[in-house]
């Protein structure tokens, strides 16, 4: 049992930061919200314009996930990575625009094995925007990013919320944006 | 799931991909066995089908353990699970890509390697057709094993233990088909290979997807 008696509500246009020490269950909670992990007890439900969505697989269709792994294949270039993702998610490919926005324009045709950890993280951010999902689940989104990258992430969160999206971020460090906070108890 | 299929094809054929590795292993075994067995041409012709079939299965197994594990470790599998398509379709796409980059090239190379065994002319059609029909089952059943062991470190160690017993029938019938062709007897083995393969390809995506769900949720 990682946690019990937990209740949270995130509203459209708002960011929520999950805080807590290592092992408090932040990542597990994110995976539960995404429908990848089934809670031992309790319900998770998303209110949408088309009614409540409770079933795990359907919830997953509303989620854009930035996990702590970057899911970047070393053999593929950033542009190929984004194009693959666009086809997989059935959304319009706009790799050049997104790569420019995250500052990877010059590396667009370079195999990802040559990218630094921060650059891979930026690529993962571009992919998150590309997914065009209303609920963003971010696991330690600030990790590996430089100051400029952190500003970029904050701007992306603000844009997403302004467009009516929801952001739930698990983080040690303060997110640095206007957000509600949920502290998960000490392990 | 066309996207996943295209990406897996690209990864397998890029530098460091699994396609060339399987082909090199297959050719290596098939070249060494005649050298080890010696110049008994009658014996070599008899064992050609069996040796090439065993080599093909082992060559395919080489790359199978990473089929799901690589995507699981780097987080890609989470993103695939959240994508609009079903995991069953994703598993089928991965099986198809694996077969096209290993099973099919092995099949195409096999007649050339048959020469090293002095395989008589009438054995070639049976060899090529049995591999063409049977290797999809190797990729499909292997994918179930790969999905079962995807979170196990050194899963490559356990994968053959799970998969090889299930693949024994197809090796027996595949190699049997080549022998039957050499003896000029009726060749029912090819039909069995085809039937086995069809069932394996139809059912494996469901089994593999179920295993993936199990691992993602733990």
| Residue A66 in this model has a pLDDT that exceeds 50 | yes
Question: Mean pLDDT throughout A57-79?
Answer: 90
Chain A with chain B: Cβ pairs closer than 8 A: 67
Q: What is the pLDDT of residue A119?
A: 93
Distances in Å between the Cα of B213 and the Cα atoms of A83, B100, B151 are 26, 25, 12
Over residues B150-159, mean pLDDT: 83
Q: Find the closest chain A residue to B216 by CA distance.
A: A36
Determine the average pLDDT of the residues in B101-105: 95
pLDDT at position B39 is: 85
Contact call for A71 and B78, based on CB within 8 A: yes
Give me the interface pTM, i.e. the ipTM. Answer: 0.90
Give percent of chain B above pLDDT 70: 100
The whole-number pLDDT of residue A178 equals 79
| Residues paired with residue A52 on neighbouring β-strands, in sequence order | A47
Whether B7 and chain A come into contact, CB under 8 Å, resolves to yes
Q: Which of B3, B17, B74 sits opposite A88 (nearest CB)?
A: B3
Number of domains in chain B: 1
Distances in whole angstroms, Cα of residue A103 to Cα of each of A110, A144, A149, B158 = 14, 15, 9, 43
pLDDT top residue among A94 and B142: B142
DSSP state of B14: S
| pLDDT beyond 60 at A187 | no
Q: In chain A, which residue's Cα lies nearest the Cα of B87?
A: A57
Instruction: Give the residue-averaged pLDDT of A149-177.
Output: 89
Q: Give the pLDDT band of residue A56 (cuts 50, 70, 90).
A: confident
Share of chain A above pLDDT 90, in %: 40
Q: Report the alpha-carbon distance of residue A180 to residue A71 in Å, rounded.
A: 28
pTM as predicted: 0.92
User: Is residue A41's pLDDT more than 90?
Assistant: no
**Residue A131 pLDDT > 70:** yes
Cβ distance A65 to B79 less than 8 Å, yes or no, reads: yes
**Which residue of chain A is at minimal alpha-carbon distance from B74?**
A71
Highest mean pLDDT of the ranges B66-75, B179-188, B192-201 = B192-201
Nearest Cα of chain B lies from the Cα of A35 at a distance, in angstroms, of 9
Contact A140, A171 (CB under 8 A): yes
CA distance B181 to B92: 32
pLDDT score, position B175:
95
Q: Which of B123, B121, B128, B3 is nearest to B53 (CA)?
A: B128
Q: Where does the pLDDT of residue B117 fall: very low under 50, low under 70, confident under 90, or very high at 90 and above?
A: very high
Q: Is the pLDDT of residue A74 over 70?
A: yes
The pLDDT confidence band at residue A26, using thresholds 50, 70 and 90, is confident
Alpha-carbon dihedral sign for residues B166, B170, B173, B174: negative
Instruction: Kindly report the number of other CB atoms within 10 A of residue B108's CB atom.
Output: 13
Q: Cα–Cα distance between A123 and A109 in angstroms, integer?
A: 13
CB proximity list for B55: less than 8 A, separation 6 or greater: B25, B26, B29, B30, B33
Degrees to nearest 5, angle at CA A13 with A7 and A17: 45
Q: Which residue has the higher pLDDT, A176 or A19?
A: A19
% of chain A with per-residue pLDDT over 70? 98
Show which of residues 1-60 on chain A sit within 8 Å of chain B, judged by CB atoms: 34-38, 60
Residues from chain A contacting residue B151 (CB–CB below 8 Å): none
Determine the straight-line distance between the first and last CA of chain A, rounded to whole angstroms: 11
pLDDT exceeds cutoff 70 at A107: yes
Mutate to test the interface with A, among B82, B94, B217 (most CBs of A within 10 A): B82
Mean pLDDT of chain A: 87
SS3 B205: helix
- Parent domain of B121: 2-216
pLDDT confidence of residue A58:
85
- The answer to whether B10 faces chain A, any CB pair under 8 Å, is yes
Q: When comparing pLDDT for B200 and A21, which is higher?
A: B200
- Chain B residues close to A141, C-beta within 8 Å: none
User: What is the DSSP track for B104-167?
Assistant: HHHHHHHHHHHGGGT--TTHHHHHHHHHHHHHHHHHHHHHHHHHHTTTSTTGGGTHHHHHHHHH
């Amino acid at each position: 049992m990682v946690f019990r008696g937990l209740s949270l509500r995130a509203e459209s246009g708002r960011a929520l930061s999950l805080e807590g020490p290592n092992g408090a269950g932040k990542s597990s909670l994110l995976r539960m919200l995404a429908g990848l992990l089934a809670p031992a007890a309790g319900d998770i439900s998303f209110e949408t314009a088309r009614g409540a969505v409770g079933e795990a697989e359907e919830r997953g269709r509303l989620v854009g996930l930035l996990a702590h792994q970057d899911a970047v294949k070393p053999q593929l270039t950033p542009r190929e990575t984004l194009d693959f993702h666009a086809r997989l998610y059935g959304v319009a490919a706009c790799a050049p625009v997104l790569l420019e926005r995250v500052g990877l324009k010059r590396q667009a045709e370079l195999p990802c094995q040559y990218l630094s950890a921060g650059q891979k993280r930026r690529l993962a951010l571009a992919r998150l925007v590309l997914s065009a999902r209303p609920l963003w689940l971010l696991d330690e989104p600030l990790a590996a990013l430089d100051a400029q990258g952190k500003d970029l992430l904050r701007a992306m969160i603000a844009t997403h919320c302004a467009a009516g999206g929801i952001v739930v971020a698990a983080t040690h460090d303060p997110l640095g944006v206007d957000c509600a906070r949920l502290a998960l108890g000490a392990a | 799931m066309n996207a996943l299929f295209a990406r897996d094809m690209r990864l397998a054929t890029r530098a460091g991909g699994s396609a060339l590795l399987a082909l090199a292993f297959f050719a290596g075994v098939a070249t060494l066995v005649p050298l080890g067995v010696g110049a008994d041409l009658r014996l070599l012709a008899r064992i050609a089908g069996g040796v090439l079939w065993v080599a093909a299965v082992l060559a395919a197994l080489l790359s199978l353990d990473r089929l799901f594990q690589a995507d699981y470790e780097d987080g890609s599998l989470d993103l695939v699970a959240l994508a609009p398509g079903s995991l069953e379709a994703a598993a089928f796409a991965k099986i198809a890509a694996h077969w096209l980059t290993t099973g099919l090239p092995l099949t195409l190379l096999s007649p050339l390697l048959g020469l090293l065994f002095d395989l008589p002319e009438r054995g070639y059609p049976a060899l090529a057709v049995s591999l063409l029909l049977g290797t999809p089952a190797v990729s499909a059943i292997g994918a179930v094993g790969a999905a079962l062991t995807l979170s196990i470190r050194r899963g490559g160690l356990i994968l053959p233990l799970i998969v090889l017993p299930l693949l024994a029938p197809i090796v027996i019938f595949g190699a049997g088909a080549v022998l039957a062709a050499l003896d000029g007897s009726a060749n029912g083995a090819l039909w069995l290979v085809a039937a086995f393969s069809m069932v394996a390809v139809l059912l494996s995506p469901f089994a593999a997807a179920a295993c993936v769900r199990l691992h993602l949720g733990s």
